[in-house]
Amino acid sequence: MGRSVVRPLSVEALAQHLGARFIGNGALSIRGVANLESAGDGDLTFFADAKHRAVAAATKTSVLIVRDADVEINNCTRIVHAAPHAAFAAALAALFPASPVLPGTSLQAVVHGSAQVSFARVDAFVHVGENSRVGSGTHLHPGVSVGAGVVIGRDCIIYPGAQIYSGVQMGDRCIVHSGAVIGSDGFGFQPSSRGWQKVPQVGAVIVGDDVEIGANTTIDRGAIEDTVIGNGVKIDNLVQIAHNCRIGDHTAIAGCAGVAGSTTIGARCMIGGAAMIVGHLTICDDVVISGGTLVSSPITAPGRYTGVFPSTEHKMWTKIAAGLRRSGK
């Protein structure tokens, strides 16, 4: 799935790190993380929300973090902690340690010895991280930074100043404009007694073929699962796509639109400028969303959707607003 590299830990070692106890096989090696639905052999996940009880009971995960009251929900190996979500965040930090900061080098192209740059044009002031692969015919312009473990396909153009974080996978013939950031951390924080605890974002960004990403657009890496941009997607400038989103093939998103986390947008959709799409919903194929529209519920039928009042003179707007308030009583 293109995730960051996991540092395997035994259940016993992780439980000790978390200040928790475990039930089951303490020698079992944790080799990955996943959500309740997709977790399988070697994975760690957690159960904290009662509405997911049926999913937790059926999960095929190897290791489950649960509260003491929920230890009987599944027969897999369990780590018992009073705050499973916070414990999972701490486990992510242990399983996916941050890469060390390397000392500075000269202001020339820096291609790590383990990277594979195949017949690509790499300008000065470019950095290509360890174990990354850049395909033939791809042009990395000045100021481009490519993190560790990145895969960039053939005949791509990465314009000056674009930043591609570790673990990103990009197909062929893609264009990334200046200032775009692909693979930055999603907005993941868990409240704790010490304030907001950062939840490590360990998914990746998977970009298909023939994708164009506009200037200063940001695409966040997945929290656990990957953020996925389908083939032929066209994204304008200043667009925000949050963690775990999935954008279907040949969808176009205009400038200043924002897509909140864990939202799925179907194929061949057109998202107007400054549209706002809330998280954890699904939009089907062949949907057109007008500029400035707020989408706050799933869209299950193709068609055009608009939810914005045109601007009008202020006194007229206050009369309209007052009428709307009266109609709701």
Could you list the mean pLDDT of each consecutive 10-residue stretch along the chain, which spans 329 residues?
Answer: 68 96 96 92 94 95 96 97 93 81 52 72 83 93 94 96 97 98 95 89 96 98 95 98 98 98 98 97 97 95 88 85 84
The string of DSSP letters for 160-214 reads TT-EE-TT-EE-SS-EE-TT-EEEEPP--EEEETTEEEE------EEE-TT-EE-
CATH 2.60.120.10 for domain 110-305, yes or no, is no
Q: Residue 46's pLDDT is what?
A: 97
Q: Residue 104's pLDDT is what?
A: 43
Q: Residue 21's pLDDT is what?
A: 96
Residue 188, judged by CB atoms within 10 A of its CB (0-12, 13-18, 19+), counts as buried
- Over residues 2-53, the pLDDT tens digits come to 345 678 899 999 999 999 999 999 999 999 999 999 999 999 999 999 999 9
Q: Residue 3's pLDDT is what?
A: 44
CA distance 298 to 290: 15
**Where do the structural domains in the chain lie, given as residue ranges?**
9-95, 110-305
Rg (CA), the chain: 22
For the chain, give the longest Cα–Cα distance. Answer: 71
CA distance 160 to 3: 26
Q: Residue 1's pLDDT is what?
A: 37
Q: Residue 82's pLDDT is what?
A: 95
pTM, two decimals, is 0.82
Q: Which residues contact 28 (CB under 8 A, 6 or more apart)?
A: 10, 11, 62, 63, 77
Q: Are 80 and 68 in contact (CB under 8 A)?
A: yes
- Active-site residue set: 243
Q: Residue 227's pLDDT is what?
A: 98
Q: Residue 243's pLDDT is what?
A: 97
Q: Residue 124's pLDDT is what?
A: 72
How is domain 9-95 classified at the CATH fold level?
A: 3.40.1390
